[in-house]
Amino acid sequence: SFSGPALKDMFADDFKIGAAVNPPTIRSQEQLLAYHFNSITAENEMKFESVHPQEEVYTFDQADGLAAFARKHGLAMRGHTLVWHNQTSDWLFTDGAGASVSKELLLARLKSHIDTVVGRYRGQIYAWDVVNEVIADEGPELLRPSKWLEIAGPEFIAKAFEYAHEADPQALLFYNDYNESHPQKRDKIYTLLKSLLDQGVLVHGVGLQAHWNLYDPALDDIRAAIEKYASLGLQLQLTELDMSLFRFDDKRTDLTSPPPELLELQAERYDGVFRLLREYRQVISSVTFWGAADDYTWLDNFPVRGRKNWPFLFDEQHRPKPAFERLAALS
C-alpha cells in the first residue's frame, strides 16, 4: 500500500501525470497507477492492427478493458494512435487480389477507421495522437517514406485530422513524434505543423515522445524544442517519457540490477528535466511516461533485446527511486 507524496499531486498545478499501460500492467501495477498517476495511454491496444485486424472486423476487448480501468480510477485517457507506419494492418493498403489500393479507397478506409475508433471513445478519450512519426529522421526529405505517403501523397495527414475532428469535435488532436528535440528534426516537425496550421487544419497540440536517456538530448535542446513548438500557439504534451540508463547504441546486456551511480545520474537528470518542464507549465498540459515502474518497460527489448533498463521513477517493486525523491523535493 502507498503513502507519502503522490506524483500527480506534486505537479497538480502544472500538468497531468500519465503512464502507458497494457492488460498485464493494469493488474500488476494497479495500486501504483491509481495512487501516483491521473492519466493513462494504451501502450499498443488502440493501434490500428490491434483494433482493426480485418476490414470488417474490429476487436475492442483489450482497449475497452483499459478504458474501463481509467473510469474505475478516475483517470484521464489519451488515445494512441490513428495513423502510423508501424503496427498497421496490411489489408488497409491492398485490395482482395493483393494489389495496392487507390488514394480514394485508402482515405475512405481511413475515415471509416477513425469514425469507428474515435467515435467509440467519444467523451472518454480527451486527446488523440492523430498522426504519429511521419517526419523523416535523416536527410533533406520532410516526410518518411511509407505506404501512406506512397499511395495518398502528403494529404493523408490533413485528412486524418479532419476525420478525427468530425468523429469527436471535443477531442484535442495531436501530432506526435520522437527525436523531437534534435535540432534538425525539430525544425522539420515545426515545418509540417506550420504548414498544417497555414492550411487551416485543426491541430491542437504536439506530442513530444521524449524517449530520452541520461546523456541525450541536452536540456538546452529540449528547451529550444519547447519554445519553437509553443511559438505556433500549440499546446505541448510529453507523451512517452522514459529516461534510459544507456545510450541508444550501447549494446550491454550483462546488468541484472541498476548501478547505484547511474540511478544518481538519473535522479539528477529527472530533476533538471522537471524543473525545465515546470517553467513551461502554461504550454505543457500533460507528461506521460511510457510505463510506470521498472518491472515493465518496452526498453527491456528495444533497441537491444534482453538489455534490461530501469527508466522510471519507481523500481521493480514499485518503490520510489532516487529520481522520485528528487522530484518530491522540488515541490
Residues designated catalytic:
133, 240
Q: How far is the CB of 301 from ligand XIL (least distance, A)?
A: 8
Q: How far is the CB of 308 from ligand XIL (least distance, A)?
A: 15
Pick 22 or 266: Cβ nearer ligand XIL:
22
The residue within the footprint of ligand XIL, chosen from 44, 116, 124, 235 (CB under 6 A), is 44
Q: Beta-carbon neighbour count of residue 142 at 10 Å?
A: 14
The residue within the footprint of ligand XIL, chosen from 25, 38, 132, 146 (CB under 6 A), is 132
Interaction of residue 209 with ligand XIL, rule CB under 6 A: yes
Interaction of residue 62 with ligand XIL, rule CB under 6 A: no
Query: What are 19's strand-pairing partners?
Result: 40, 289
Query: What are 128's strand-pairing partners?
Result: 79, 173
Residues 234-263 contacting ligand XIL, CB under 6 A: 240
Q: How far apart are CA 124 and CA 30, in angstroms?
A: 19
Q: How far is the CB of 180 from ligand XIL (least distance, A)?
A: 11
Question: Where is 187: in which H helix or E strand?
Answer: helix 183-198
Pick 210 or 267: Cβ nearer ligand XIL:
210
Binding string, 90-129, against ligand XIL, x = CB under 6 A?
Answer: ----------------------------------------
Grid coordinates representing 74?
Answer: 478516475
Binding string, 267-296, against ligand XIL, x = CB under 6 A?
Answer: ------------------------------
Q: How far is the CB of 82 from ligand XIL (least distance, A)?
A: 12
Contact present, 38 and 16 (Cβ < 8 Å): yes
Q: Beta-carbon neighbour count of residue 200 at 10 Å?
A: 7
Return the exposure string of 270-280: e unless at least 16 CB atoms fall within 10 Å of the residue's CB, then b: bbebbeebeeb
Pick 44 or 94: Cβ nearer ligand XIL:
44
Grid coordinates representing 278?
Answer: 515546470
Q: How far apart are CA 280 and CA 303, in angstroms?
A: 31
Pick 101 or 245: Cβ nearer ligand XIL:
245
Contact present, 328 and 10 (Cβ < 8 Å): yes
Q: Which residue has the cell 479532419?
A: 162
Phi/psi for 150 (5° steps) reads -60, -45
Residues 307-326 contacting ligand XIL, CB under 6 A: none
Q: How far is the CB of 133 from ligand XIL (least distance, A)?
A: 6
Give the binding site for ligand XIL (CB under 6 A): 43-44, 132, 178, 209, 240, 298
